[in-house]
A and B are shown apart, each in its own frame.
Chain A
Amino acid sequence: MNAMAFVYLAAILFSIGSAAVLLRRNAIVAFMGVELMLNAANLALVAFSRLHGQLDGQIMAFFVMVVAAAEVVVGLAIIIAVFRARQTISLDEPAELKG
C-alpha cells in the first residue's frame, strides 16, 4: 500500500481535529480535537519516515507521544478545576473575561 495514502489520512484527521477545536463548545471535545491533531501529525511523521526510508520520523513520533501525554495531564487538570467551580465546561458559558 502506498505510504502517501497515510499522509492524506493524516491531513484528513488533522482537519477534523482543528474543526473540532474551532467549532465545538465543549472543552473536553475541543481538547479531543487537539489530541487528534497531534496524532495526525504523528501519523504524518511516521508515513513520511516510511516514504523517505529513514527512521528519524518514527523516533520523533515517540517524543511527540510523551509530550502529548503530559499535555493531557495539564489540560484535564485545568478542565476539572473549571468544572468544579462552575458545574459546566461549556466554552461559551464562562464570561468573566471580555473586551
Chain B
Amino acid sequence: MNFVTPEISWAPLAPIIIVLGAAAIGVLIEAFIRTPATRRSVQFVYSLIALVVALGVAIVQWVALEGGGTVVAQSMLTVDRQSLAWQTMLLVFGILGLILFASRTRAGESAFTPLGSTAPGSIEETVARRRGFEATEVFPLLLFAVGGMMLFTCVTDYVFLFVALEVFSLALYIMVALARRRRLMSQEAALKYFLLGAFSSALYLFGVALVYGATTQTSFVEVGRGIDAISGREPLLLAGVALVLVGLLFKIGAVPFHSWTPDAYQGAPTPVTAFMGAATKAAATAALVRIVYTSLYPLEWEMSWVFWAVAIASMALGTVLALVQTNIKRMLAYSSVAHAGFILVAFAGFTEEAIAALPFYLLAYGLATIGAFAVVSQVRERGEDGGVGAEAVRLGQWAGLGRRSPLLAGAMALFLLSFAGIPLTAGFIAKFEVFSAAVAGGGWPLVLIGVIASAVAAFFYVRLVVLMFLTDVPDGAEDAIEVEDGSLARLVIMVTAAAVLVLGILPSGVLDVYADAAQFLVLPNG
C-alpha cells in the first residue's frame, strides 16, 4: 500500500489555528501562573486578544478572497465564503461570551465555582472560596469550543466532522458543570448533557459508518455522487443518513432530540448558557446546511418529510412548553427549541435562498440570546447573609424590574421582541428571510404553522415584558432583588442591544454580505 502525504495549504486555516493554538497555550498558562487573580486577568486579556486577532484575520481573508475559496486538505477541509461567514459569526459570539465569562459581581464573584473538583457544600469548597481560587480553565475551554465550532463549519468529510463535533462538545460539557451557585443542578445538567450528547454523537458515527459502507466514501461530495450512482434506495444508506441527521438535529436542539436543552440551559452558569445557546446552534446549522446542500441533496424527497415533521414538532412543542415555564432560563431554553423549528423551516424545498437566510437568522438569534442571558446574569436575589445571592430566575421575581433598572429591562424587552419577531428588531427581518426562503421552496403550509407558532410565542415574550414594566413590585419584596451593574456584562448588553436594533432597521448591508456568501466552493455536480 502506498501512502501519499496530503498537501495542505495552511494559510486559509489561520483563524482556526490561532484560536486552537491560543487554547493550547492557555492550558500552559494555567500551569505556570500560580496566583489566581493574576492568572484570571492574564487569561482573559490573552484569550480576548487571540479571538480579536483571529476575527481580524478571518475578515481580511474574507475580503481578500478571490474566486470561491480554497480547498485546504483534499476532500477534508474547504475554506470558502460560506465557511468564513460562519467563522466570523462564531468569533463574534466567542468574544461576547468571553467578556461575559470574565464579568463579576460587585462582591467580586465570578460566575464559576472556585474549584470544580470540590463537592458542593463541602469544607474544601469553603476553603477554596476563602483562598480566592478561580476556575480560570474556562477561558482555554471557551477557545477550544470556538475553535472546534469554526472547524465544524469548514469540514467536508463525515468522519472529520465527528472529530470537530467532539472538540467543541467536550469543552462545553465541562463548562456546564462549573457553576458557582446551585452547583448540584449544574453538575446534574452536565451529566445529562454529556450522556445525551455522547449518545447522539455515537448515533452520528454509526450513521457515518453505514454511509461509508453504502457509498465507499466519506467526503461530502463523493458521498453525494455515490448516492446519485446507487439506483434505488438502499436500506443501508437510508439508515446511515437518518442516523447522521439525528446527530446534527440533536446539536441544533430540535424535537424529538431536544430533551437536553432545557436542563443544560438552566443548570449551566449563565455566561456559558449565553455562549452555548448562540454558538452551538450556529455551528450545527452551518454543518447541516453544508451537508444537505453538498452531499445529501439527491435524497431530497426522503429528507424533506423528515425536516417538515421535525420543524413542525419543534415549533409546536417548543412554544407550548415555553408557555408553561416559570423559570426564565428554562423558558428561554424552550423558546430556543421553537427557534430550532424556525431554522428548519428554511430547509423546506432546499432553495438557494435558504443558504443566505440562515446565517442572518442565526446572527440575529445569537446576538439576542447572548444579550438576554447577560441580562439574566445581572438580576440577583438577596442571599441569606444579606449579600448578593444567586440569579433570580423565577418569573415572579422579575416583576417591576423596569422601575429598578429601566436600562436592563429595556434591553431585555428588546431581546424578547426580537425573539418574537416584532418589526424594527433583527428577529423580524430574520424570520421574514427564512419564511420567504421556505415559501420559495413551496413550503407555505410550514410557514403558516411557523407564523401561528410565532404569534403564540409572542404571548410569553410579551408576558415577561408586561411583568417587567406594568407590574408593581410585590409588597415586602422591595429588597428581595438586587440588580448588578458589572461593567463587562453591561458592555455586552449594550453591544448586543445596539446590534439587534441596527440589524432590524438597516439589515441590507449584512443581508447582501450573506447573499454573496451563499455559495459552496465544492459541489458534486460542479
Contact = CB atoms under 8 A, between A and B. Distances in A.
A44 B218 contact: no
A37 B202 contact: yes
B177 interface: yes
Nearest to A79: B191
- Highest count of chain A CB atoms <10 Å: which of B177, B210, B218: B210
Given A70-B170, A78-B177, A94 B162 contact: no
Contacts of B325: 99
Interface in A9-64: 10, 14, 17-18, 21, 27, 30-31, 33-34, 37-38, 40-42, 44-45, 48, 51-52, 54-57, 60, 63-64
A36 to B, nearest CB: 9
A40 B206 contact: yes
Contacts of B380: none
Contacts of A64: 159, 162, 205
Contact of B218 (A14, A60, A84): A60
B192 to A, nearest CB: 7
Contacts of B213: 7, 44, 48, 51
Q: Range of interface residues on chain B?
A: 35 or more
B187 A17 contact: no
A52 B218 CA distance: 13
A27 B191 CA distance: 8
Interface in B506-523: none
A97 B205 contact: no
B141 to A, nearest CB: 11
Contacts, number: 128
Nearest to B207: A41
B168 to A, nearest CB: 12
Contacts of B160: 63
Contact of A48 (B174, B191, B205, B212): B212
Interface in A71-97: 71, 74-75, 77-79, 81-82, 84-86, 91, 94, 96-97
A81 B173 CA distance: 13
Contacts of A74: 170, 173-174, 194
A99 B328 CA distance: 12
Nearest to B208: A41
Contacts of A79: 191
Nearest to B2: A55
A59 to B, nearest CB: 9
Contact of A85 (B184, B203, B212): B184
B402 interface: no
B263 A97 contact: yes
Interface residues of A, number: 46
B194 A75 contact: yes
B272 to A, nearest CB: 14
Given A48-B212, A67-B163, A71-B170, A21 B206 contact: no
Interface stretch (B13-21, B96-104, B114-122): B114-122
Nearest to B214: A48
Given A48-B212, A74-B174, A99-B330, A94 B206 contact: no
B185 interface: yes
A21 B263 contact: no
A57 to B, nearest CB: 6
Interface in B162-205: 162-163, 166, 170, 173-174, 177, 182-185, 187-192, 194-195, 198-199, 202-203, 205
B421 interface: no
Contact of A45 (B1, B170, B199, B212): B212
Contact of B209 (A21, A48, A77): A48
- Highest count of chain B CB atoms <10 Å: which of A41, A56, A77, A94: A41
A99 B208 contact: no
A41 B206 contact: yes
Given A41-B205, A44-B213, A97-B262, 13 more contacts: A10-B209, A30-B195, A34-B195, A34-B202, A45-B209, A57-B212, A63-B163, A67-B162, A74-B170, A85-B120, A97-B189, A97-B192, A99-B325
Interface of B: 1, 116-117, 119-121, 159-160, 162-163, 166, 170, 173-174, 177, 182-185, 187-192, 194-195, 198-199, 202-203, 205-206, 208-210, 212-213, 216, 218, 262-263, 266-267, 324-325, 327, 330
Interface of A: 7, 10, 14, 17-18, 21, 27, 30-31, 33-34, 37-38, 40-42, 44-45, 48, 51-52, 54-57, 60, 63-64, 67, 70-71, 74-75, 77-79, 81-82, 84-86, 91, 94, 96-97, 99
11 contacts: A10-B209, A34-B202, A37-B203, A42-B209, A44-B209, A64-B205, A75-B195, A78-B187, A81-B187, A99-B262, A99-B327
